[in-house]
Amino acid sequence: MAGAGAGGGKTYSFKVVLLGEGCVGKTSLVLRYCENKFNDKHITTLQASFLTKKLNIGGKRVNIAIWDTAGQERFHALGPIYYRDSNGAILVYDITDEDSFQKVKNWVKELRKMLGNDISLCIVGNKLDLEKDRHVSVEEAEVYAESVGAKHFHTSAKLNKGIEELFLDLCKRMIETAQAEERAKGNGNGQSANTRRGVQIVDDEPQHQSRGCCF
Amino acid sequence: QLGSHIIPAKERWQGIYDQFMDFLNSGSDETSVESFLGFYSKKREKQKSLKSMTITKKVEIAMPHSTEDSLDFLTCNRPDGATSEKLASNQCILAKGQQLKEYLSKAFASSHHPLGKLLQTLILVFQGTFSGICMHKRLLSMAQQEVVSHAKELFELARYFLPKSLEIGDPSTEAAIRDNLNAYTVTLPLILPRFYPDLFMLYMLYHEVEDSMYWKGILYLELLSDTKLLEFLEVQKDLWPLQDIHLTNKQRLSVVKDVCFTSAILCFQKISTTADPQDKLDTLMKTYLEIESTVTRVLKREYNLSMDDLLPLLVYVVSRARILHLGAELHLIRDMMDPSTEGGMNDFLLTALDSCYQHIQKEELRSRSLPK
C-alpha cells in the first residue's frame, strides 16, 4: 500500500505496526503522538488500538495508520497476521527492563524474516524519565540497532520527549523506501501492478552478531 | 500445474455479454429486448421450471418480487431526484450513491429490466457451473473471481440505463463520486446475496479443516464459566464486568455463564445474517463499540483500550458468540471487501478478528494451563 496518487500532490499511505511487551508504555507513546492534533471526531481511530495521523513532510502528504499489537507472550504467534504488508515497525522496550529488550530482538528477527528489508524499523527505548533505573545500556541498544539496520531512539511518553523525532524519521525512511520501489517499478516494465514482496531470504548475519548478548 | 490454464474470469461467458452488447448497440429499446435477451412471459418461466425444477426454484426464492415488479425499464420517476444540489458535496455523494443503489437494486430484481434479465442468466450459469455435483473447494477462487467480475461488468453496463436524475453532471464532484462509487461499493453488495448460498458453500468446503479445529476450541472454551474464561484469557481484573453478574443464593461467582459482555456477543452474532461484506464489517465495528461501552461502564470512566486489553476481550466475545464457519466468513469478507479500504480501520478490525480465530484454533492445545 505504498502510495496512491490523488489529484495534484502525491499522498503516501503507510501502515506501521507497534510492537512491544505489556508494560513498556507503547500505548502511551502513540497516544501522546496522536493526541489533540486533529480534533475531528470522525470515527477513524479505535482509541488506542488503531490510530491514524496525517502529516506533511517536505510537501509530501503522508497518512500513517498505526496498528497496535498485543504484547502478551501467548499471542506472540499471531504477529505475522498483523504485520503483513506493513511499511514500518516501531519496537518499544522499557529501558529499566532487560527482558523487554530481548523481546524486541525476537521481533526484529521475525520481521526481517517475513518482510525483508522493505520494512523500516525503529527501536525505541521508552521511559527515559526513569534513567536512574536503567538496565539496558545505551551502547548495547545502539550497537544492536545498527547491526540490524534499525534506528534507535530514546523517548519518554511521560515527558513527551523524542516522540515527534521518532515518527518524523520513520516517515522519511518509509517515503524513501516507497520512492525506491517506484523507481524500480518504473524501470522494470511489465508486472508493475502487483509486485508485492514475495518470500525473501535474508542473511543470518545480524542474528549471529547479536547472539553474544542474546543468550 | 493445477489451474494454470484457467480462462480469466473477465473472459468467461463472453457470449452472454456479447448478446447484451448487441442489444445495447441496436438502440436498446423495449421492442428489441425480447429478441436479444429472451422473452418475458410467466408461462415460459413455468415451463422452464418444470424442466429444471431445482435451479429455477432457487432463483425464485432469491427473488421473491421478480414477477410482480413492473419497473419501467429505461426511465425512473424518482420525485426527489433534483434535491442533491443543496447538499454539501460529501453528502451529495452519499445521496447519489444511495439513489444509484436503490435504482439498481430495483433493476436487478426485475425480470422485466434488461439488467435484471442479464443477472438472472448469470446466476443460472453460475449455479450450473459451481453448485450441486460440481461443487469442489478447488473451484473457490474461480467462483469468487467470477462474481467480482460480474459485479464489475454490471457496474459498467449500468451506465447505459441510468435515469437523468442520476447522471453525474458536475465535473467537480465527478472525480469524488468515481472514487466512492465502484463495483465493490455499488453492484457487488446488490448481486452478492443472489450468489451467496453457493459461493458460501464453497468457502465452507475450503475451510473445513480449520473450521473444525476452531470449533473444537469453541467447545472447549464453552466449558469454562465466565470468570474462569476471563481469567484464562488473562483479562485485566478491573475490566471484568462483575457488576453484571447477579447471584442468587445458590450460585457462586465461579459457575455463572453467559452474562458478561452479552451485548457485544449478541451484536457479533449478526455477522452471519448478512451477505454484504460491508454489513459484516459494520457488525464487527459495532461489536467493538459494545465492548468499549461495557468497559467504560465497568470502570466508570473513559479507558483507552490498547490491543493488550482488546484482544483478550475480543477472543472472549468471539468464543462465546459461537459463529459457525467463522473461517469461511473471514475469507469471504476479505475477498469481497472494497480493496481501496486496505490498511484502514476495517482492515484492522478484520485482522484482529482473524487473529482471534487463529488463536481459538490453538486454544485446545493449552488445556494444561486451565485456571483452578
Residue ranges covered by each domain of chain A: 11-182
| Residue B178 counted as domain residue | no
CB B46 within 8 A of CB B182: no
Nearest C-alpha neighbor of B215 from the set B364, B316, B371, B351: B364
B303: containing domain: 201-246+257-368
What amino acid is encoded at B71 in this protein?
Answer: L
- Give long-range contacts, CB 8 A cutoff, 24+ apart: B213-218: B213/B361, B213/B364, B214/B326, B214/B327, B214/B357, B214/B360, B214/B361, B215/B324, B216/B364, B217/B319, B217/B360, B217/B361, B217/B362, B217/B363, B217/B364, B218/B319, B218/B322, B218/B360
Residue A138: pLDDT above 50?
Answer: yes
How confident is the model over A100-136, as pLDDT tens digits? 999 999 999 999 998 888 899 999 999 888 888 889 9
The C-alpha of B306 sits at a distance from chain A's nearest C-alpha, in angstroms, of: 5
The C-alpha of B106 sits at a distance from chain A's nearest C-alpha, in angstroms, of: 32
| Residue B323 counted as domain residue | yes
Pick among B348, B356, B361, B367 to test the A interface (most A CBs inside 10 A): B348
Mean pLDDT for the stretch of residues A93-99: 92
| Residue B226 counted as domain residue | yes
Residues 6+ apart with CB under 8 A from B78: B99, B103, B163, B165
Q: Give the CATH number for residue B262.
A: 1.20.1050.80
Residues 6+ apart with CB under 8 A from B313: B233, B235, B239, B261, B291, B295, B305
| Residue B171 counted as domain residue | no
How confident is the model over B315-362, as pLDDT tens digits? 999 999 999 999 999 999 999 999 888 888 999 999 999 999 999 998
The whole-number pLDDT of residue A202 equals 46
| Residue B86 counted as domain residue | no
**Mean pLDDT for all residues in chain A:** 80
> Per residue, what are the HEC states of chain A?
CCEEECCCCEEEEEEEEEEECCCCCHHHHHHHHHCCCCCCCCCCCECCCEEEEEEEECCEEEEEEEEECCCCHHHHHHHHHHHCCCCEEEEEEECCCHHHHHHHHHHHHHHHHHHHHHCEEEEEEECHHHHHHCCCCHHHHHHHHHHCCCEEEECECCCCECHHHHHHHHHHHHHHHHHHHHHHHHHCCCCCCCCCCCCCCCCCHHHHHHHHHHC
ipTM (interface pTM): 0.80
Residue A199: pLDDT above 90?
Answer: no
Q: Highest mean pLDDT: which of A37-51, B4-18, B138-152? A: B138-152
The whole-number pLDDT of residue B242 equals 84
Residues of A within 8 A of B352 (CB-CB) are 49
Residue B51: pLDDT above 50?
Answer: no
For A87, name the nearest residue in chain B, comparing CA atoms only.
B343
The reply to whether CATH 3.30.70.20 applies to domain A11-182 is no
| Residue B326 counted as domain residue | yes
pTM of the predicted model over 0.90: no
Residue B14: pLDDT above 70?
Answer: yes
| Residue B208 counted as domain residue | yes
Pick among A16, A26, A46 to test the B interface (most B CBs inside 10 A): A46
Q: How many domains in chain B?
A: 1
| Residue B278 counted as domain residue | yes
Better pLDDT: B255 or B31: B255
Residue B129: pLDDT above 90?
Answer: no
Q: Which of the residue ranges A25-39, B289-303, B352-366 would you say has the lowest mean pLDDT?
A: A25-39
CB-nearest to B307 from A1, A49, A85 is A49
